[in-house]
Amino acid sequence: DRGDIIELTGTCFTTKRGEPSVLASSWNILAKSYSPIPTEHFGLKDEEERLRRRYLDILLDKNLAERFKRRSLFWNTARSFLLERDFIEVETPVLETIPGGAEARPFTTHHNALDMEVHLRISTGELWQKKCMVAGLPKTFEIGRIFRNEGMSKEHLQDYTQLEFYESFSDYKKGKVMIRELYLELAKKVFGKTTFSVHGHEFNLEDEWVDYNFCDIINDAYGIDPRDTTTEAVEKALEQHSIKHDKPVSVERGVDLLWKKYRTQLSGPGYLVQVPVYLEPLAKKSKNDPRTVERFQVILAGSEVGKGFSELNYPRDQEERFARQEELREQGDDEAQFADKEFVEALEYGMPPTFGFGVSERLFSFLEGVPVREGQIFPLLKPKK
């Protein structure tokens, strides 16, 4: 039957018509197919069924099999890029008592042996890797799974792979150069090209990467200076531009929503810079304007596809920003960051100036030209009833 896997013993030869064949002396069934495999003509048309029975999807679509070979090459190219620059690969905890390093809602569970609440990590060990900087390890990276208990879209999933790396005695300016080199290497080695069309945008990674000034954009588009504004002004701008938001809205969340509305116009490649301090609790303040931070986000096809910054290494400043995040949490913002006193304690021993960067598998799906769910070999689905 179609789908049976058999073993043939005999002599290999090629027919006069050039057909590779076996003159079999014996045969044996290695695996019996009890369910008929769909024909390639009809295949699996329903998207949910395709993802649920991904093994058949891959079996019937050789292009899909090639996609997951590219995905493997993508992460191994990133790994090789860092190893060649003397980074060491580390593994940091997946279960944390305080989920740190990002603004996201965590998955929470109970640790029976220690009888305590723990969370699945929301970053690839950001605060842990910075403790490695305190420990004198100059360059570290991790490629691993992270988990965020949030919404789903063509760009967002709840569990996905992310790369984060940290380099001491570097900063975001040096980092910008390095990240362009990394993205170009990924594009050339994995996809064999540098020009891509994504979500109606076309960009070439070999072009000059431009700087997008966050404060200028918000001021020009909405008439407010995000470095010096109020909740009233932000809420008014949200309403004028018909942007859905919770009420009351904080300056932090409101300004972020205004930016997300605007960014869809930007094709990139580029760096989003001059972001207000209140939008990045872990980045160092800018020397030129202390109301902003030394941070950039990679902008491609109207989305943020990677983020890097000069890491904040002043313990008192970090403590104050954590306190503000705690205020936001108390006001109902469950995506605000948790205060990590042990991380502040580590900073008190001295962390060198450090550049940190993170990028998720969203970059792979962008360059592959598919939604992030299609970029995973076995995405999460609801069980069949």
Average pLDDT over residues 201-220: 97
For residue range 125-161, list pLDDT tens digits in order. Answer: 999 999 999 999 999 999 999 999 988 888 889 999 9
Query: Measured between alpha carbons, how far is residue 126 from residues 19, 77, 88 in Å?
Result: 56, 21, 15
Average pLDDT over residues 279-286: 95
Largest CA distance in the chain: 84
Residue 261 has pLDDT above 60, yes or no: yes
3-state class (DSSP) for residue 65: helix
Element (H, E) at 47: helix 47-52
CB 355 within 8 A of CB 310: yes
DSSP 8-state class, residue 285: B
Q: What is the CA radius of gyration of the chain?
A: 25
3-state class (DSSP) for residue 313: coil
Residue 93 has pLDDT above 70, yes or no: yes
DSSP 8-state class, residue 224: -
Residue 39 has pLDDT above 80, yes or no: no
Our CA dihedral for 79, 153, 242, 291, rounded to 10 degrees, sits at -20
> Dihedral of CA 375/379/382/385: which sign?
positive
- How many angstroms separate the CA atoms of 115 and 96, rounded? 14
Query: Residues near 69 by Cβ (< 8 Å), separated by ≥ 6?
Result: none
Residues constituting the chain: 385
Query: Measured between alpha carbons, how far is residue 100 from residues 182, 343, 344 in Å?
Result: 26, 9, 12
Bridge partners of residue 163, in order along the sequence: 143, 359
Q: Closest by alpha carbon to 362, among 122, 162, 210? A: 162
pLDDT score, position 41: 55
Residue 98 has pLDDT above 70, yes or no: yes
Q: Of 49-63, 237-251, 359-373, give the range with the top mean pLDDT.
A: 359-373
Average pLDDT over residues 226-244: 94
CB 270 within 8 A of CB 212: yes
DSSP 8-state class, residue 354: E
Query: Measured between alpha carbons, how far is residue 251 from residues 257, 276, 277 in Å?
Result: 10, 11, 12
Q: Closest by alpha carbon to 264, among 184, 340, 201, 342? A: 201
Residue 43 has pLDDT above 70, yes or no: no
Interior angle at CA 207, CA 157 and CA 210, nearest 5: 75
Q: With pLDDT > 70 as the criterion, what percentage of the chain qualifies?
A: 99
Average pLDDT over residues 360-372: 95
pLDDT score, position 333: 84
For residue range 151-167, list pLDDT tens digits in order. Answer: 888 888 999 999 999 99
CB 298 within 8 A of CB 316: no
Whether residue 138 has a cis bond before it, omega within 30° of 0: no
Burial class (CB in 10 A: 0-12, 13-18, 19+), 183: buried
pLDDT score, position 40: 67
3-state class (DSSP) for residue 12: strand
Average pLDDT over residues 76-98: 97
Q: Look-up: residue for tokens 């030394």?
A: 294
CB 159 within 8 A of CB 380: yes
pLDDT score, position 2: 85
pLDDT score, position 202: 96
3-state class (DSSP) for residue 275: strand
pLDDT score, position 37: 87
- How many angstroms separate the CA atoms of 271 and 308, rounded? 10
As a whole number of Å, the end-to-end CA separation of the chain is 30
Q: Look-up: residue for tokens 């305080």?
A: 98
For residue range 316-345, list pLDDT tens digits in order. Answer: 999 999 999 999 888 888 888 999 999 999
Residue 53 has pLDDT above 70, yes or no: yes
Q: Closest by alpha carbon to 279, among 250, 243, 300? A: 250
What's the whole-model pTM score? 0.92
CB 111 within 8 A of CB 121: no
- How many angstroms separate the CA atoms of 343 and 35, rounded? 55
DSSP 8-state class, residue 189: I
Residue 55 has pLDDT above 70, yes or no: yes
